[in-house]
Amino acid sequence: MSINSIKIMIKAVFFDYDGVLTPDKSGGYTTCRYIHQTTGIELDRLISCYKKRNRDLNLGKVTHQEIWQDFCQCVGQQIDIGILPDAFNSTPSNDAMYELARKLRTKYKTGIITDNKKDRWDNVTRKFGLDGLFDILVLSANVGAEKDSEEPFRYATETLGVKPEGCVFIDNKKENLVAPARMGIKTIFYDNEKNDIAALIKELKGFGVDI
């Protein structure tokens, strides 16, 4: 198959959020880091306690309000839940990745597919204007499934009217690439610690993406 014919096949590029559009490896890490910096509570303890309900939060089964007392008991200190909006908004921006996404959107459909909590997602969407930068935002808490399932990817492709084989998905966790690859979506592992945009562009071009 020629390079030109491959280019025609690519219709959409999907990005993970944490670890790709933000340099932090996960949203839970970002949230706990801010709480640590504000309260002085040990970061590892915060992360350990937060992880206990992380999946339920990502799936929309519970809210931060519902789990907050248990979280505070776990860390051994009462924390004002009002800290959360600032914790969510402490999310840093990977500006070079946003610039790449803007360029891609001139020729392709673009979207974010993320495992995230609804209240945090509402905050970062407002802060960064995500709904104006991407064609679709797929949140695990809204679809009731994380990226270890095909459901978020199926929702994205069907909503945009594109075939899985015509899509590329970028994520900083290899385990999140299994389900989309099984569907036929082209996948790219992105090392958030290296944050090598040039290498990512090279991989995208290898799939026939015109940048």
Q: Alpha-carbon distance 169 to 152, whole Å?
A: 12
Give the total number of structural domains in the chain: 2
Residue 174 structural domain: 3-24+93-206
pLDDT in tens, 53-65: 999 999 999 999 9
Same domain, 126 and 59: no
Residue 125 domain-assigned (yes or no) = yes
Phi-psi region of 103 (alpha: psi -120 to 50; beta: other; left: phi over 0): alpha
Token pair 């339920």: residue: 56
What predicted TM-score, i.e. pTM, was given to this entire model?
0.94
Mean pLDDT value of segment 26-50:
98
Residue 1 has pLDDT above 80, yes or no: no
Residue 131 domain-assigned (yes or no) = yes
Same domain, 34 and 9: no
Last residue in a domain, options 61, 89, 117: 89
pLDDT score for 3: 46
Residue 211 domain-assigned (yes or no) = no
pLDDT in tens, 175-197: 999 999 999 999 999 999 999 99
Residue 16 domain-assigned (yes or no) = yes
Last residue in a domain, options 37, 57, 89: 89
Same domain, 62 and 150: no
DSSP state of 107: T
Same domain, 58 and 11: no
Asked if 15 contacts 167 with a C-beta cutoff of 8 angstroms, the reply is no
pLDDT in tens, 137-179: 999 999 999 999 999 999 999 999 999 999 999 999 999 999 9
DSSP state letters, 163-204: -GGGEEEEES-GGGGHHHHHHT-EEEE--TTT--HHHHHHHH
DSSP state of 25: S
Mean pLDDT value of segment 132-137:
98
Same domain, 20 and 31: no
Q: Alpha-carbon distance 169 to 108, whole Å?
A: 13
DSSP state of 22: B
Same domain, 49 and 124: no
Of 25, 175, 188, 166, nearest to 91 (Cα)?
A: 25
pLDDT score for 166: 98
pLDDT score for 5: 44
